[in-house]
Amino acid sequence: MAKKPVIAIFDVGKTNKKLCLFDEDYNIVFEKSAQLKEITDEDGFPCEDVDALESFIFNSLSDVGEQLEFELKAINFSAYGASFVLTDERGHAIAPLYNYLKPYPEELSQKLYEQYGGKEQFSAETASPALGSLNSGLQLFRLKNERPDLFKKLKYALHLPQYLSSLLTGHYYSDITSIGCHTALWDFRTNDYHQWVKQEGILPKLAPIQRSDKTINSRYCAVGIGLHDSSAALIPYLESFKEPFVLISTGTWSISMNPFNHSPLTTAELQQDCLCYLSYKGAPVKSSRLFAGHEHDETVKQIAEQFHVSPVYFKNLTFDKNLDNDPPTEAYQDFMRKLVQKQVRSTNLVLTNDVKRIFVDGGFSHNEIFMQLLANAYPGINVYAASMAQASALGAAICIHSCWNTKPLSKHLVQLKHYKPI
C-alpha cells in the first residue's frame, strides 16, 4: 500500500505546542499537542524552556517516523513572535528565551527613543507601538547595554520560528514575517532595517534575510525557515479570497488584520495599539490588537466563582435576547456585550469602506454569543465564523506548497458560517 505524502507543521504558541500532519488536500491526518512547564531566567522571571521545546520537536518527529502509513515530505514551523533565541557559533542557545512580558527598563527605552527622533517618530517609522520587551529589537538593545559580555559572545539572535528550523537544518536565517511583527527593527518607510539597528551594532547579530517560502534539504526532508504565527494565519485567507476583507484572529490576543489597508500608521493609531505586520510576501498588513482572549478567560473565572458554577458552564451558551431568571448567563452575556464593544472599536481602527466581509478565526469563532453580537454591530458587513484546521499551521504548510505537494491548492481551505444581525 502506497504511503500518504504529508507535511509536518510545528505550531508553537505560548501555551500550547502542537504538531500537525497535513495530507496533500490539507486535511489533518495526525495531531499531537503538549503544554510545557516554564522555567525562570536569571532574574526569576518565567520563560520558555528551550530544551523541553527541542525535546518535544525531536520526540514528535520520532513519533512521525513510526507512523508507517505516512511519507514525510516537508516540515515547517509557525511560532509566536517577539522572542529571540540567542545562539553561539554552533547554533546553541547561550541565554534563556526571555519572555516578551518581562518588564523593560524605562530609562533604557527612553535612551533609545531620544537618540532616534523621539518615541512617536520612532514608533511611526517602525510601525510598532512602544511595548517594551514585546518590541523584540529592544531586547537586543538591553542585552548590549546590560550584558555586554554576553552580547559579544552572541553570533545570531534568531526569532523562535527560525531557531526551530535551524535545529533541523544547521542553517541560520531571518524571516520577514518575524522581523515585521512589532519588533521595532524594521523601517516601514524604507523597507529595510531601521537606522538604529545599524548604528547600535545590532545588524551583525541578525542572520541573513531569506524568502518565507525557502526550504532547505535536511536528513529528514525539505524544511522551511518558519513563520510568525499571526502572519501564517493570514495565508489561507489571502489564497482563498481576493476581495477586501478583515480577519480577526482570536486567541489570547484578538488581532484585526486588514491586508488591503495601505494608509500609513498615524500617531493616534499607534497610541491605540495599532501596528503593521509584514505578510509572507513582504507587504505591510495594518492591524490592531486587543487583549480580548485573556480578558475573557479571567472574567469567566470571576463570574463562575460569583455564581458557584464551573467555567465550563459558559462554553456552549447561545445568544439569547430574552434572558429569564438565569443570572450567570445574564452576567456573562452582559460582559460579552462590553467585550464586543471593545472589539468593534479595535477593528474599526483598521477597517476601510471597501471591506464587505469580516472573518473571525480562533477561539471566539466558536463562541455563538461573541459572533452574534459582532454581526449585530456590523449590519452592513457580512460577518463569518471561519473554521479550518489550525490556521497558523495551515498557513505555514501552504507557504511551501510547491516544494512538497503535487496537487493544486484547494479552493475550499476555509469553511464559513454566516451570522446575520438579529
Task: Report pLDDT digits (tens) over 387-398.
Answer: 886 889 999 999
pLDDT value of position 261: 93
CATH 3.30.420.40 domain locations along the chain: 4-228, 230-419
pTM of the model as a whole: 0.88
Domain 230-419: which CATH number of 3.30.1360.70, 3.40.50.920, 3.30.420.40, 3.40.50.300: 3.30.420.40
pLDDT value of position 324: 67
Rounded Cα gap, residues 392 and 362, in angstroms: 10
Neighbours of 28 (CB within 10 A): 16
Strands 357-362 and 245-250: parallel
pLDDT value of position 68: 86
pLDDT value of position 146: 96
**Average pLDDT of the chain, as a whole number:** 94
Q: Which residue has the cell 513572535?
A: 81
pLDDT digits (tens, 9 = 90+) for 38-84: 999 999 999 999 999 999 999 999 999 888 899 999 999 999 989 99
Average pLDDT over residues 96-118: 96
Looking at domain 4-228, what is its CATH homologous superfamily?
ATPase, nucleotide binding domain (3.30.420.40)
pLDDT band at 409 (very low <50, low <70, confident <90, very high): very high
56 burial type by CB count under 10 A (0-12 exposed, 13-18 middle, 19+ buried): buried
pLDDT digits (tens, 9 = 90+) for 291-350: 999 999 999 999 999 999 999 999 888 888 777 668 999 999 999 999 999 999 999 999
Q: Which is more confident, 35 or 323?
A: 35
pLDDT band at 120 (very low <50, low <70, confident <90, very high): very high
* Cα–chain center distance at 47: 17
Rounded Cα gap, residues 161 and 165, in angstroms: 6
Instruction: For the chain, report the end-to-end CA distance as a whole number of angstroms.
Output: 53
Average pLDDT over residues 159-165: 98
Average pLDDT over residues 243-261: 93
Measured CA distances, 72 to 2, 65, 232 (Å): 13, 8, 21
Measured CA distances, 288 to 126, 269, 275, 350, 384 (Å): 15, 8, 6, 7, 19
pLDDT digits (tens, 9 = 90+) for 196-240: 999 999 999 999 999 999 999 999 999 999 999 989 989 999 999
